[in-house]
Amino acid sequence: MRCEEKTGFLMLRRCEGPAETQCSVCGKQLCSEHTFALSPDQMTMLSIQPTTTRAVVCLACFRKTQPQQARQATQASQAADQRRRPMFADDNDPYYRYPYYGSYHPYLWGSDFSDRDRRVFDRQEARTGDHGTDSTFDS
């Protein structure tokens, strides 16, 4: 079964990854890349009974936990962040933030790049051609 999440930077399309679990809230099938682990507090926010098992959700359900967390951020830390970084259009885009240990933090420099990032440099023979169909006309 395939992951039911949408992916894509320029054009949204269905994720090609194999489903490995499902969203604890909406039941959507998810691959490992599209699962967001919840902390006990976040589980409470989404009315999930805290259990011994790990609760994972899809991005849409994970986002429902964010406004509450955003309010918890202090004015001081927000101001410091603004001074440190120039404002660009994507700075508030949740796609570019990452669930870090079940919480919600921006990417931090120094942590590893993902396998997905490294795929950009994979120079092994392409399984698909330039036009994304097959390698017959890969040139």
Work out how close the CB of 82 gets to other proteins at its nearest, in angstroms, rounded to a whole number.
12
Binders of other proteins among residues 15 to 44 (CB under 8 A) are: 16
Between residues 9 and 101, which has the closer beta carbon with respect to other proteins?
9
Q: How many residues bind other proteins (CB under 8 A)?
A: 42
Of the candidates 24, 26, 3, which has an alpha carbon nearest to the alpha carbon of residue 15? 3
- Residue 13 interacts with other proteins (CB under 8 A): yes or no: yes
Binders of other proteins among residues 52 to 111 (CB under 8 A) are: 84-86, 88-91, 96, 106-109
Binding span for other proteins by CB under 8 A among 10-18, 34-42, 52-60, 71-79 = 10-18
Contact positions toward other proteins, by CB under 8 A? Answer: 7-11, 13, 16, 84-86, 88-91, 96, 106-109, 113, 116-126, 128-132, 134-139
